[in-house]
Each structure stands twice: as structure tokens, then as C-alpha cells.
Amino acid sequence: MPAFRFGLLALVLTASLGAQVPQLIQSIPEGTGLEQAGLPFAKEVWPDMIRGAKRSVDMAEMYVTNRPDGFLEPVLKELEKAGARGVNVRIMLSAQMLNGDQPTVTRLRAIPGAEVRVFDFGEGKRGILHAKYFVVDGEDAFVGSQNLDWRSLQHIHEMGLRFSTPSLVAPLRELFEIDWEFCRTRKLPALPKGAAPSPAPALELVASPPSLTPPSIRAALPSLQELLGQAKTRIRIQLLTYSPVSGKTRFWPALDNALRAAAVRGVTVQFLVSDWNLTAPAVYHLKSLTLIPNLEVRIASIPESAKGHIPFARVIHSKYMTVDGSLLWLGTSNWSEDYFADSRNVELILRDPALAAQGDRVFEQLWNSSYASRLDPAKTYIPRMRD
């Protein structure tokens, strides 16, 4: 086949398959000008995905919060329409956040044929369902930092990925089924024995916690440590929060050591966190990182909405990293021990230079914007009001 005809066929196939090529999906705080040209918005992608559902919609969400004039309302309406036309709708919500918007939870339960289950590790356990993802018809999936929250779609900086790659969708479906059954039994499953395939594939899904993750899926924490340890030139990280303190006082060095080691061996580390990270003791550890050559920490502060204060909003909530301009890590975990050891979270490792380049452009836009400033180790910071 002539080269030009092959290229044309590739373009036609890409267009017809839509999400077959993994696609970054953004959410941006209104009025900030932080939109990244060429990236779709979750507020448009989510309703479109659900609108196309023919058989099933499976959702795992930390919580749901809606307001009638917010961007989540069209999503909820599409879920209701899906149930009405016979689509099987299954939704998991975290027990700890179930009462935040009880009317909307009741609305979800009222969807024809839908079932809502509560994810609960039990009294005295600190783990929660912190993952945010859904799968349509077992084929079309979304994973990202966006909660099922009108603010996530309208007033928070978020990043997600839409994909239909079988090697990513299959393990995500497996995790959903494990957690769906766990919601019913409240008993940790007897996971099969074995080991994750090695070497790691170009596109890979990893997960936490180990107690709920089968051996066919790599654990998120050692995977992340491996990526940091393999970096050669540059690491860029954007998170809501980072802390190497577990509980109140115990030092947890797993990621802190990896970051410091990368900088010491000459890797340029650019670390961007939200102003929610300015509380003690986390801020003290962030300041200590700034004293290491090749490692710079910046704080992102998003101004209040022109409409007034919005609780738990106007913040960067994205959780992603690029390595050497060739790899993108994107998921639902902030970087502290409980997210990896105790709570259900999902991450995607994408060894794809094109996706990494998109992630770098998003990072550079915020890193170089007026919303980001270098963390000063000598300055006393006042923590940002959240609620």
C-alpha cells in the first residue's frame, strides 16, 4: 500500500475509533485562562461517554456532590437516561463521604435498574475508596483526579485520561469487580497467587492497596519508585498534596528518598503542589526539599471565583508526573503513605512521548503562570482556607 494511502487509512481509523488512542482530559477553574488548547474538557466528555452507553456504566467514585446549575447536572441526567433505556448502571461510593450530598445519592439510587453500593473498610480502618473512574460497555474508560463533583468540572484544576485500550480497560474492569464484591461481603478477597508480567508494558494500569489488588496488576508504590529511580534528565510532578509524614509523627521515606536521590544524581526535579500543602508538618518537609540542588518546589494558588468563595474548590487537584519527556504517570493518589498502603487508588503509566509532551505542556503552563510561586524555605506561610 502506498505510504500516503496508509497514512490516510490511519487517520480514518483513528477518527472512527475515537478513544482508542488514549486522550488527556482537562478540567480548569473558571476565569483562570489555564485551558490547554486541543485537550477536551471532562464536562463535555463525561456526558458524551454515558450518552453512548448501550449495555453498562460502572462507576467507582469517592463521593458525589451536585448543584442544579453546575456542570455535573448534565452527567447525572445522562445516567438517568441510560438507566431508563435499559443500561445496567452500577455505582460505588466511599462510606466516609456518603452523607455529603444525600439528595444526590438518593437520586442515583432512583435511576431505573441502577444499584449503588458503599465501599467501607470498616470501623477503625483509615482506608477509603479514593479512586475516580468509570467504564462504559466494558470498553470505554475514564480515570482521573476529577471527583463526581460539580466543582471538579468547574472550579478545580484536574487531569484525567479517556481510553479504550484493552490492556488498560481489562485490569480496570477486574478491579471494579473485586471492589463491587467487597462492597457486598465486606471481606477482603482471596486473591490468586502469581506475579505481574515483566517487563512492564508500554501502557500499564497499577493500583493500591495491595490487599485488594491481584498479583496480575502491579502495586502502585513500587512502580512509582521505579519510575523515579530510572529518570535520567527531568521529572515534573503536579499534586494536590505531598507529605512524607505518616499519621502524626512517623517519617515515611519511600518517595522522599527517591526524589532526593534523583536530584542528587543530576536529574532536574520540578515539583508543583497546591497551597493546601502549606500546613504543618508537610510544609516543613517541602521546604527541606528546596535545599537540594536540582530540586525546585513551587506552590500553586488559584484565586477565589468572581462569584465568591466556594468551599473545597479553586485549587490544583491534578495528580500526574512526566519523566524524561517520554513517560506520563497519571492517577488518583496524592503522595503520602495512606493513599498507597490503605486506600483504593488507580494509576496509569503511559510510556508514550506524545502523551508525555501533552502533560509537559499542561505543567509548563501552570508552572510559569502567575498562579505559581517558588517555595521560600525562610518564609512563614499561612495555610489556605478550604471550607
Please give the pLDDT value at position 369. 98
The answer to whether residues 133 and 228 belong to one domain is: no
Instruction: Please state the rounded mean pLDDT for residues 368-378.
Output: 98
- Percent helix, strand, coil in the chain, to 5, is 35, 25, 40
Question: Distance between CA atoms of 95 and 182, rounded to whole angstroms?
Answer: 13
Q: Residues 93-147: pLDDT tens digits?
A: 999 999 999 999 999 999 999 999 999 998 768 899 999 999 999 999 999 999 9
Q: Label residue 7 by pLDDT band (50, 70, 90).
A: very low
Q: Are residues 52 and 124 in the same domain?
A: yes
Domain of 307 in residue numbering reads as 202-374
Whether the bond between 29 and the residue before it is cis, its omega within 30 degrees of 0, is no
Question: Alpha-carbon distance 185 to 45, whole Å?
Answer: 33
Same domain, 156 and 247: no
Q: What is the pLDDT of residues 23-34, one digit of tens each?
A: 999 999 999 999
* Overall domain count for the chain: 2
228 occurs within a structural domain:
yes
Tell whether 214 and 156 lie within a shared domain: no
Domain end, chosen from 136, 163, 190, is at 163
The pTM (predicted TM-score) of the whole model is 0.93
Same domain as 209, residue 356? yes
Residue-level pLDDT at 126: 83
Separation of CA 269 from chain center? 21
Domain assignment present for 168: no
Query: Does residue 14 belong to any structural domain of this protein?
Result: no
Mean pLDDT along residues 378-384: 93
Strands 320-323 and 56-61: unpaired
Indicate which CATH number applies to the domain containing 106. Answer: 3.30.870.10
β-strand pairing of 295-300 with 315-316: unpaired
Same domain, 157 and 206: no
Q: Are 43 and 71 in contact (CB under 8 A)?
A: yes
